[in-house]
Protein backbone atom coordinates (compact mmCIF):
# COMPACT_ATOMS: atom_id res chain seq x y z
CA UNK A 1 0.00 0.00 0.00
CA UNK A 2 1.16 3.54 -0.68
CA UNK A 3 0.74 6.46 1.69
CA UNK A 4 2.70 9.61 2.60
CA UNK A 5 5.12 10.53 5.36
CA UNK A 6 6.77 13.82 6.24
CA UNK A 7 10.52 14.13 5.73
CA UNK A 8 10.69 15.32 9.33
CA UNK A 9 9.13 12.07 10.59
CA UNK A 10 11.42 9.92 8.42
CA UNK A 11 14.46 11.78 9.75
CA UNK A 12 13.32 10.98 13.27
CA UNK A 13 12.91 7.32 12.29
CA UNK A 14 16.48 7.39 11.01
CA UNK A 15 17.72 9.01 14.20
CA UNK A 16 16.06 6.27 16.26
CA UNK A 17 17.50 3.60 13.95
CA UNK A 18 20.99 5.14 14.28
CA UNK A 19 20.85 4.66 18.06
CA UNK A 20 19.28 1.20 17.81
CA UNK A 21 21.80 -0.22 15.34
CA UNK A 22 24.77 1.98 16.30
CA UNK A 23 25.37 3.09 12.70
CA UNK A 24 26.20 6.42 11.08
CA UNK A 25 23.29 8.77 10.42
CA UNK A 26 23.70 8.67 6.62
CA UNK A 27 23.55 4.87 6.75
CA UNK A 28 20.41 5.01 8.88
CA UNK A 29 18.81 7.47 6.43
CA UNK A 30 19.50 5.09 3.54
CA UNK A 31 18.06 2.15 5.49
CA UNK A 32 14.85 4.09 6.08
CA UNK A 33 14.66 4.99 2.38
CA UNK A 34 15.18 1.35 1.33
CA UNK A 35 12.51 0.22 3.79
CA UNK A 36 9.97 2.34 1.93
CA UNK A 37 10.93 1.43 -1.64
CA UNK A 38 13.68 3.96 -2.52
CA UNK A 39 17.25 3.24 -3.54
CA UNK A 40 18.73 5.84 -1.22
CA UNK A 41 17.88 8.80 0.99
CA UNK A 42 18.87 11.14 -1.83
CA UNK A 43 16.40 9.38 -4.13
CA UNK A 44 13.67 9.65 -1.50
CA UNK A 45 14.14 13.38 -0.90
CA UNK A 46 14.16 14.10 -4.66
CA UNK A 47 10.62 12.72 -4.79
CA UNK A 48 9.38 14.85 -1.88
CA UNK A 49 6.80 17.58 -2.35
CA UNK A 50 6.04 20.18 0.30
CA UNK A 51 8.05 18.25 2.86
CA UNK A 52 6.19 14.96 2.23
CA UNK A 53 6.98 11.88 0.20
CA UNK A 54 4.97 8.89 -1.03
CA UNK A 55 6.13 5.59 0.49
CA UNK A 56 5.22 1.93 0.17
CA UNK A 57 4.25 0.07 3.33
CA UNK A 58 3.87 -3.64 3.93
CA UNK A 59 0.99 -5.20 5.82
CA UNK A 60 3.18 -5.60 8.89
CA UNK A 61 4.16 -1.94 8.76
CA UNK A 62 0.49 -0.95 8.46
CA UNK A 63 -0.30 -2.87 11.63
CA UNK A 64 2.55 -1.08 13.37
CA UNK A 65 1.23 2.28 12.19
CA UNK A 66 -2.26 1.33 13.37
CA UNK A 67 -0.98 0.53 16.85
CA UNK A 68 1.27 3.60 16.98
CA UNK A 69 -1.68 5.82 16.15
CA UNK A 70 -3.78 4.30 18.92
CA UNK A 71 -0.96 4.67 21.42
CA UNK A 72 -0.41 8.31 20.46
CA UNK A 73 -4.10 9.16 20.83
CA UNK A 74 -4.04 7.53 24.26
CA UNK A 75 -0.87 9.42 25.17
CA UNK A 76 -2.63 12.70 24.45
CA UNK A 77 -5.62 11.63 26.52
CA UNK A 78 -8.00 11.48 23.54
CA UNK A 79 -10.71 8.82 23.91
CA UNK A 80 -11.87 7.16 20.70
CA UNK A 81 -13.96 4.43 19.11
CA UNK A 82 -13.00 2.26 16.12
CA UNK A 83 -14.84 0.79 13.15
CA UNK A 84 -13.65 -1.52 10.35
CA UNK A 85 -14.89 -0.56 6.90
CA UNK A 86 -15.92 -3.29 4.42
CA UNK A 87 -15.70 -3.42 0.63
CA UNK A 88 -19.51 -3.27 0.52
CA UNK A 89 -19.48 -0.24 2.77
CA UNK A 90 -17.07 1.57 0.45
CA UNK A 91 -19.11 0.66 -2.63
CA UNK A 92 -22.46 1.73 -1.14
CA UNK A 93 -21.11 4.60 0.97
CA UNK A 94 -22.55 3.20 4.19
CA UNK A 95 -21.16 1.83 7.44
CA UNK A 96 -23.04 0.05 10.18
CA UNK A 97 -22.76 1.99 13.43
CA UNK A 98 -21.81 -0.93 15.67
CA UNK A 99 -22.77 -1.04 19.32
CA UNK A 100 -19.44 0.20 20.67
CA UNK A 101 -19.53 3.22 18.36
CA UNK A 102 -23.17 3.98 19.19
CA UNK A 103 -22.38 3.84 22.90
CA UNK A 104 -19.37 6.13 22.37
CA UNK A 105 -21.49 8.70 20.48
CA UNK A 106 -24.07 8.72 23.26
CA UNK A 107 -21.50 9.08 26.04
CA UNK A 108 -19.87 11.97 24.21
CA UNK A 109 -23.26 13.67 23.80
CA UNK A 110 -22.86 13.64 20.02
CA UNK A 111 -25.78 11.49 18.80
CA UNK A 112 -28.28 8.96 20.15
CA UNK A 113 -29.71 6.56 17.57
CA UNK A 114 -32.33 5.40 20.09
CA UNK A 115 -34.01 8.79 19.85
CA UNK A 116 -33.86 8.88 16.04
CA UNK A 117 -36.79 7.87 13.84
CA UNK A 118 -36.36 5.78 10.71
CA UNK A 119 -36.28 7.24 7.23
CA UNK A 120 -34.41 9.67 5.01
CA UNK A 121 -36.30 12.68 6.36
CA UNK A 122 -34.90 12.06 9.84
CA UNK A 123 -31.26 11.82 8.70
CA UNK A 124 -28.89 13.96 10.78
CA UNK A 125 -25.97 15.80 9.11
CA UNK A 126 -23.18 17.22 11.23
CA UNK A 127 -19.82 18.81 10.35
CA UNK A 128 -16.74 16.66 10.87
CA UNK A 129 -13.01 16.69 10.19
CA UNK A 130 -11.50 13.97 7.98
CA UNK A 131 -7.78 13.60 8.72
CA UNK A 132 -5.90 12.46 5.61
CA UNK A 133 -2.22 11.98 4.81
CA UNK A 134 -2.11 15.33 3.03
CA UNK A 135 -4.35 17.59 5.11
CA UNK A 136 -7.45 17.83 7.26
CA UNK A 137 -10.65 18.14 5.25
CA UNK A 138 -13.87 19.81 6.32
CA UNK A 139 -16.59 17.24 5.68
CA UNK A 140 -20.02 16.17 6.91
CA UNK A 141 -21.04 13.01 8.67
CA UNK A 142 -24.42 11.41 8.03
CA UNK A 143 -26.18 9.59 10.89
CA UNK A 144 -29.42 7.82 10.10
CA UNK A 145 -31.66 4.77 10.43
CA UNK A 146 -33.08 3.39 7.17
CA UNK A 147 -36.67 2.24 6.86
CA UNK A 148 -35.45 -1.23 5.84
CA UNK A 149 -33.14 -3.60 7.75
CA UNK A 150 -35.05 -2.95 10.98
CA UNK A 151 -33.63 0.54 11.05
CA UNK A 152 -30.09 -0.62 11.81
CA UNK A 153 -28.03 2.52 12.65
CA UNK A 154 -25.80 3.76 9.84
CA UNK A 155 -22.99 6.29 9.61
CA UNK A 156 -21.08 7.74 6.66
CA UNK A 157 -18.46 10.43 6.21
CA UNK A 158 -18.79 12.34 2.95
CA UNK A 159 -15.74 11.97 0.71
CA UNK A 160 -14.40 9.00 2.71
CA UNK A 161 -14.25 6.46 -0.16
CA UNK A 162 -11.12 7.91 -1.78
CA UNK A 163 -9.18 7.68 1.50
CA UNK A 164 -9.91 4.09 2.55
CA UNK A 165 -9.73 0.52 1.35
CA UNK A 166 -11.51 -2.63 2.50
CA UNK A 167 -10.65 -3.79 6.03
CA UNK A 168 -9.10 -0.46 7.06
CA UNK A 169 -9.77 0.47 10.66
CA UNK A 170 -11.17 3.94 11.27
CA UNK A 171 -11.09 5.79 14.54
CA UNK A 172 -13.60 8.38 15.65
CA UNK A 173 -12.98 10.93 18.40
CA UNK A 174 -14.91 13.98 19.50
CA UNK A 175 -13.64 17.28 20.86
CA UNK A 176 -15.93 20.24 21.55
CA UNK A 177 -18.82 18.44 19.82
CA UNK A 178 -16.81 18.11 16.59
CA UNK A 179 -16.21 14.61 15.17
CA UNK A 180 -12.74 13.71 13.87
CA UNK A 181 -12.23 10.70 11.60
CA UNK A 182 -8.84 9.03 11.02
CA UNK A 183 -7.78 6.00 8.97
CA UNK A 184 -5.52 4.20 11.44
CA UNK A 185 -3.93 2.10 8.70
CA UNK A 186 -2.78 4.82 6.33
CA UNK A 187 -2.48 8.17 8.14
CA UNK A 188 0.34 8.89 10.58
CA UNK A 189 -1.30 11.01 13.28
CA UNK A 190 2.15 12.01 14.60
CA UNK A 191 2.35 14.31 11.56
CA UNK A 192 -0.37 16.35 13.26
CA UNK A 193 1.23 17.03 16.65
CA UNK A 194 -0.06 20.61 16.61
CA UNK A 195 -3.61 19.33 16.20
CA UNK A 196 -3.19 16.75 18.96
CA UNK A 197 -1.85 19.34 21.35
CA UNK A 198 -4.71 21.73 20.65
CA UNK A 199 -7.28 18.95 20.98
CA UNK A 200 -5.85 17.89 24.33
CA UNK A 201 -5.93 21.50 25.48
CA UNK A 202 -9.18 22.44 23.75
CA UNK A 203 -10.58 23.88 26.96
CA UNK A 204 -7.32 25.49 28.03
CA UNK A 205 -6.69 28.68 26.09
CA UNK A 206 -3.83 29.65 28.39
CA UNK A 207 -1.78 26.57 27.47
CA UNK A 208 -2.29 27.29 23.75
CA UNK A 209 -1.35 30.92 24.29
CA UNK A 210 1.85 29.98 26.14
CA UNK A 211 2.73 27.33 23.55
CA UNK A 212 2.42 29.89 20.76
CA UNK A 213 4.62 32.37 22.60
CA UNK A 214 7.31 29.72 23.09
CA UNK A 215 7.15 28.87 19.38
CA UNK A 216 7.76 32.54 18.61
CA UNK A 217 10.71 33.07 20.97
CA UNK A 218 12.25 29.73 19.91
CA UNK A 219 12.87 31.10 16.41
CA UNK A 220 16.11 32.74 17.57
CA UNK A 221 18.62 31.83 20.31
CA UNK A 222 18.08 33.78 23.54
CA UNK A 223 21.01 35.69 24.97
CA UNK A 224 21.32 35.06 28.72
CA UNK A 225 20.36 38.08 30.82
CA UNK A 226 22.41 36.92 33.81
CA UNK A 227 24.79 34.28 35.12
CA UNK A 228 24.22 31.36 37.45
CA UNK A 229 22.00 28.30 37.80
CA UNK A 230 18.77 30.26 37.39
CA UNK A 231 19.94 32.14 34.28
CA UNK A 232 18.08 29.97 31.78
CA UNK A 233 14.76 30.22 33.59
CA UNK A 234 15.08 33.96 34.14
CA UNK A 235 16.05 34.50 30.49
CA UNK A 236 13.05 32.57 29.15
CA UNK A 237 10.67 34.33 31.54
CA UNK A 238 12.13 37.68 30.48
CA UNK A 239 11.58 36.76 26.81
CA UNK A 240 7.96 35.93 27.67
CA UNK A 241 7.53 39.34 29.26
CA UNK A 242 7.26 38.02 32.82
CA UNK A 243 8.54 40.01 35.78
CA UNK A 244 10.85 38.26 38.20
CA UNK A 245 9.33 37.70 41.66
CA UNK A 246 9.74 35.47 44.69
CA UNK A 247 6.13 34.27 44.76
CA UNK A 248 5.45 30.56 45.24
CA UNK A 249 2.54 30.82 42.81
CA UNK A 250 2.85 29.48 39.21
CA UNK A 251 4.59 31.77 36.72
CA UNK A 252 2.27 32.20 33.71
CA UNK A 253 -1.45 32.66 34.40
CA UNK A 254 -1.56 29.57 36.59
CA UNK A 255 1.04 27.56 34.63
CA UNK A 256 4.38 26.86 36.27
CA UNK A 257 7.52 27.18 34.09
CA UNK A 258 10.52 24.94 34.70
CA UNK A 259 13.48 25.48 32.40
CA UNK A 260 16.62 23.38 32.14
CA UNK A 261 19.68 22.83 30.02
CA UNK A 262 19.95 19.70 27.90
CA UNK A 263 22.94 17.76 29.22
CA UNK A 264 24.26 14.24 28.86
CA UNK A 265 23.67 13.70 32.56
CA UNK A 266 19.98 14.62 32.26
CA UNK A 267 19.99 17.18 35.06
CA UNK A 268 17.20 16.84 37.61
CA UNK A 269 14.37 19.38 37.66
CA UNK A 270 13.09 21.14 40.77
CA UNK A 271 9.63 20.04 41.85
CA UNK A 272 9.33 22.45 44.78
CA UNK A 273 11.12 23.81 47.83
CA UNK A 274 9.88 23.00 51.32
CA UNK A 275 11.52 23.41 54.72
CA UNK A 276 11.02 20.69 57.35
CA UNK A 277 8.43 20.88 60.12
CA UNK A 278 10.83 22.60 62.51
CA UNK A 279 8.52 22.30 65.52
CA UNK A 280 8.56 18.49 65.17
CA UNK A 281 12.25 18.15 64.28
CA UNK A 282 15.33 17.62 66.44
CA UNK A 283 17.19 20.41 64.64
CA UNK A 284 15.15 23.62 64.55
CA UNK A 285 16.63 25.61 61.65
CA UNK A 286 18.75 25.54 58.51
CA UNK A 287 21.53 27.15 60.55
CA UNK A 288 21.60 24.20 62.95
CA UNK A 289 21.81 21.82 59.99
CA UNK A 290 24.68 23.65 58.28
CA UNK A 291 26.52 24.11 61.61
CA UNK A 292 26.22 20.39 62.31
CA UNK A 293 26.95 18.88 58.91
CA UNK A 294 28.31 21.64 56.68
CA UNK A 295 31.87 22.36 55.62
CA UNK A 296 33.94 25.57 55.27
CA UNK A 297 34.15 27.26 51.88
CA UNK A 298 37.85 27.25 50.97
CA UNK A 299 37.60 30.69 49.34
CA UNK A 300 35.91 32.77 52.04
CA UNK A 301 35.43 30.58 55.08
CA UNK A 302 31.63 30.58 54.86
CA UNK A 303 29.97 27.46 56.20
CA UNK A 304 28.16 25.59 53.39
CA UNK A 305 26.05 22.50 52.88
CA UNK A 306 25.51 21.91 49.18
CA UNK A 307 24.58 18.27 48.68
CA UNK A 308 22.07 15.76 47.35
CA UNK A 309 20.29 13.46 49.78
CA UNK A 310 18.44 10.27 48.81
CA UNK A 311 17.15 7.06 50.37
CA UNK A 312 19.77 4.77 48.87
CA UNK A 313 22.76 5.51 51.05
CA UNK A 314 24.40 8.06 53.34
CA UNK A 315 26.13 10.84 51.37
CA UNK A 316 29.55 12.34 52.12
CA UNK A 317 28.01 14.45 54.91
CA UNK A 318 26.47 11.31 56.44
CA UNK A 319 22.91 12.23 55.45
CA UNK A 320 20.13 10.22 53.84
CA UNK A 321 16.31 10.23 53.56
CA UNK A 322 13.97 7.82 55.31
CA UNK A 323 10.32 7.43 54.24
CA UNK A 324 7.72 6.23 56.72
CA UNK A 325 4.65 5.44 54.62
CA UNK A 326 2.74 4.09 57.60
CA UNK A 327 2.89 7.45 59.41
CA UNK A 328 3.03 9.62 56.25
CA UNK A 329 6.39 11.24 56.99
CA UNK A 330 9.77 11.83 55.35
CA UNK A 331 12.81 12.09 57.61
CA UNK A 332 16.39 13.19 57.11
CA UNK A 333 18.74 10.95 59.03
CA UNK A 334 22.40 11.27 60.02
CA UNK A 335 24.39 8.05 60.15
CA UNK A 336 25.51 8.76 63.75
CA UNK A 337 22.99 11.24 65.16
CA UNK A 338 19.86 9.50 63.86
CA UNK A 339 16.72 11.33 62.68
CA UNK A 340 17.32 15.09 62.60
CA UNK A 341 14.38 16.68 60.72
CA UNK A 342 10.94 15.63 59.46
CA UNK A 343 8.50 16.61 56.71
CA UNK A 344 4.78 15.86 56.97
CA UNK A 345 3.54 13.98 53.90
CA UNK A 346 0.39 16.11 53.71
CA UNK A 347 2.43 19.33 53.52
CA UNK A 348 4.63 17.93 50.75
CA UNK A 349 1.56 16.91 48.73
CA UNK A 350 0.04 20.36 49.20
CA UNK A 351 3.22 21.99 47.87
CA UNK A 352 3.25 19.66 44.86
CA UNK A 353 -0.35 20.48 43.98
CA UNK A 354 0.18 24.19 44.61
CA UNK A 355 3.25 24.35 42.40
CA UNK A 356 2.42 21.89 39.64
CA UNK A 357 -1.29 21.90 38.96
CA UNK A 358 -0.10 22.59 35.41
CA UNK A 359 3.51 22.91 34.25
CA UNK A 360 5.61 23.46 31.11
CA UNK A 361 9.00 21.75 31.57
CA UNK A 362 11.12 23.62 29.01
CA UNK A 363 14.42 22.23 27.70
CA UNK A 364 17.11 24.16 25.83
CA UNK A 365 20.52 23.65 24.28
CA UNK A 366 23.27 25.99 25.49
CA UNK A 367 25.86 27.57 23.20
CA UNK A 368 28.76 29.78 24.28
CA UNK A 369 29.46 32.66 21.87
CA UNK A 370 32.23 35.14 22.76
CA UNK A 371 31.98 34.05 26.37
CA UNK A 372 28.21 34.58 26.56
CA UNK A 373 25.51 31.93 26.95
CA UNK A 374 22.77 31.61 24.34
CA UNK A 375 19.78 29.29 24.76
CA UNK A 376 18.11 27.50 21.84
CA UNK A 377 14.74 26.17 22.97
CA UNK A 378 14.34 22.48 22.15
CA UNK A 379 10.83 21.75 23.39
CA UNK A 380 8.68 21.36 26.46
CA UNK A 381 6.83 18.64 28.32
CA UNK A 382 3.34 19.62 29.44
CA UNK A 383 1.99 18.07 32.65
CA UNK A 384 -1.24 18.53 34.60
CA UNK A 385 -2.84 17.23 37.78
CA UNK A 386 0.00 15.37 39.54
CA UNK A 387 -0.75 12.06 41.22
CA UNK A 388 0.08 13.44 44.65
CA UNK A 389 -0.21 10.12 46.46
CA UNK A 390 2.73 8.83 44.41
CA UNK A 391 5.01 11.50 45.91
CA UNK A 392 6.20 9.68 49.04
CA UNK A 393 6.47 6.27 47.30
CA UNK A 394 8.67 7.88 44.62
CA UNK A 395 10.91 9.39 47.30
CA UNK A 396 11.12 5.94 48.88
CA UNK A 397 12.07 4.45 45.48
CA UNK A 398 14.83 7.03 45.00
CA UNK A 399 13.11 8.62 42.00
CA UNK A 400 12.68 11.92 43.86
CA UNK A 401 15.67 13.26 45.79
CA UNK A 402 16.44 16.29 47.94
CA UNK A 403 19.08 19.00 47.57
CA UNK A 404 20.39 21.25 50.34
CA UNK A 405 21.75 24.65 49.37
CA UNK A 406 22.57 26.20 52.74
CA UNK A 407 25.16 28.90 53.37
CA UNK A 408 26.10 30.73 56.60
CA UNK A 409 28.14 33.87 56.12
CA UNK A 410 31.40 33.80 58.08
CA UNK A 411 31.42 37.55 58.73
CA UNK A 412 27.79 38.13 59.72
CA UNK A 413 26.55 34.67 60.71
CA UNK A 414 23.53 35.19 58.44
CA UNK A 415 22.18 31.87 57.15
CA UNK A 416 20.24 31.34 53.92
CA UNK A 417 18.85 28.28 52.18
CA UNK A 418 17.43 28.27 48.66
CA UNK A 419 15.69 24.95 49.29
CA UNK A 420 15.51 22.28 50.39
CA UNK A 421 14.58 21.31 46.83
CA UNK A 422 12.75 18.10 46.02
CA UNK A 423 13.92 17.06 42.53
CA UNK A 424 13.10 14.59 39.77
CA UNK A 425 14.71 13.62 36.46
CA UNK A 426 12.77 14.72 33.34
CA UNK A 427 12.48 11.14 32.10
CA UNK A 428 10.67 10.18 35.33
CA UNK A 429 7.90 12.80 35.09
CA UNK A 430 5.44 10.20 33.79
CA UNK A 431 5.69 8.42 37.14
CA UNK A 432 4.23 11.47 38.90
CA UNK A 433 2.07 13.08 36.22
CA UNK A 434 -0.60 11.36 34.10
CA UNK A 435 0.06 11.41 30.35
CA UNK A 436 2.85 14.02 30.08
CA UNK A 437 3.00 15.39 26.52
CA UNK A 438 6.20 16.50 24.78
CA UNK A 439 6.00 19.31 22.21
CA UNK A 440 9.04 19.96 20.00
CA UNK A 441 10.05 23.56 19.34
CA UNK A 442 12.68 22.48 16.83
CA UNK A 443 11.46 22.94 13.25
CA UNK A 444 13.11 21.47 10.16
Q: What is the pLDDT of residues 293-328, one digit of tens each?
A: 999 988 888 999 999 999 999 999 999 999 999 989
Q: Is the pLDDT score of 8 beyond 80?
A: no
* One domain, residues 11 and 76: no
- Predicted pLDDT of residue 314: 96
Report residue 193's pLDDT band, with 50, 70 and 90 as the boundaries.
Answer: confident
Res. 147: pLDDT tops 80 = yes
For 156-167, what is each residue's pLDDT tens digit? 999 999 999 888
- Count of domains for the chain: 3
Q: Are residues 266 and 314 in the same domain?
A: yes
Q: What is the CATH number of the domain that holds 410?
A: 3.30.70.3570
Task: State whether 71 and 168 are in the same domain.
Answer: yes
Is a pLDDT exceeding 90 seen at residue 68?
no
418 is a domain residue: yes
Confidence (pLDDT) at 338: 97
Residue at 412 is within a domain: yes
User: Of 56, 81, 103, which residue constitutes the final position of a domain?
Assistant: 56
The rounded mean pLDDT for the chain is 87
CATH number, domain of 102, equals 2.40.330
pLDDT-derived band at 265 (thresholds 50, 70, 90) equals: low
Residue 2 lies in a domain: yes
- Same-domain check for residues 424 and 301: yes
Whether residues 75 and 51 share a domain: the answer is: no
**322 falls within a domain:** yes
pLDDT at 248: 61
The whole-number average pLDDT for the span 394-408 is 95
The predicted model gives 256-267 an average pLDDT of 76
Which pLDDT band, with edges at 50, 70 and 90, does 257 fall under?
Answer: very high
Domain final residue, candidates 128, 160, 188: 188
pLDDT of residue 53: 84
195 phi, psi to nearest 5 deg: -65, -45
Same domain, 249 and 138: no
Same domain, 123 and 215: no
pLDDT of 186 higher than 80:
yes
pLDDT of residue 339: 97
pLDDT of residue 247: 60
Highest mean pLDDT out of 53-57, 249-253, 256-260? 256-260
> pTM for the whole thing?
0.57
Same domain as 84, residue 132: yes
Residues 69 and 84 in one domain: yes
**Co-location of 103 and 224 in the same domain:** no
- Establish if 421 belongs to a structural domain: yes
**Is 350 found in the same domain as 227?**
yes
Determine, yes or no, domain membership for 180: yes
Higher pLDDT, 190 or 280: 280
**pLDDT above 90 as % of the chain:** 47
- Domain end, chosen from 34, 56, 78, is at 56
Whether residues 63 and 33 fall in one domain: no
Q: Which residues contact 221 (CB under 8 A, 6 or more apart)?
A: 367, 374, 375, 376
Report the pLDDT value the prediction gives residue 58, as an integer from 0 to 100.
64
How sure is the predictor about 275, in pLDDT bands with cuts at 50, 70 and 90? Answer: very high
In this prediction, residue 223 carries a pLDDT of 94
In a domain, 338, yes or no: yes
Q: Which residue has the higher pLDDT, 435 or 289?
A: 289
Checking if the pLDDT of 125 tops 90, the result is yes
Residues of the chain with pLDDT > 70, as a percent, come to 93
Range of the domain at 125: 59-188
- What pLDDT does residue 1 have? 62
Residue 23, pLDDT score: 82
194 is a domain residue? no
Region 410-426: mean pLDDT is 88
Range of weakest confidence among 41-45, 73-77, 285-289? 73-77
Amino acid sequence: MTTTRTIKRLKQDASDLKKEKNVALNQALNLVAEKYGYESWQSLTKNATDGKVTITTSEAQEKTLNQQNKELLAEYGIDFSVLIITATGIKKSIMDAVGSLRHFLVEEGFHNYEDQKQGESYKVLKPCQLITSEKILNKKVSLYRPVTKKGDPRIWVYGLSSHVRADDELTFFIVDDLLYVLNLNSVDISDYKDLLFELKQSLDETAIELRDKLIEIAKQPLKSIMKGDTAIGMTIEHALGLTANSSKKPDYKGIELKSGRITKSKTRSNLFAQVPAWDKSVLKSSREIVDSYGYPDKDNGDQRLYCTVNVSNFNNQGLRLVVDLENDKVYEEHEIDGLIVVWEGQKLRERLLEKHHETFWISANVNIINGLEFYSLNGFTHTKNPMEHQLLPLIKQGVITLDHLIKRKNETGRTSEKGPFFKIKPQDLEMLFPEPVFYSLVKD
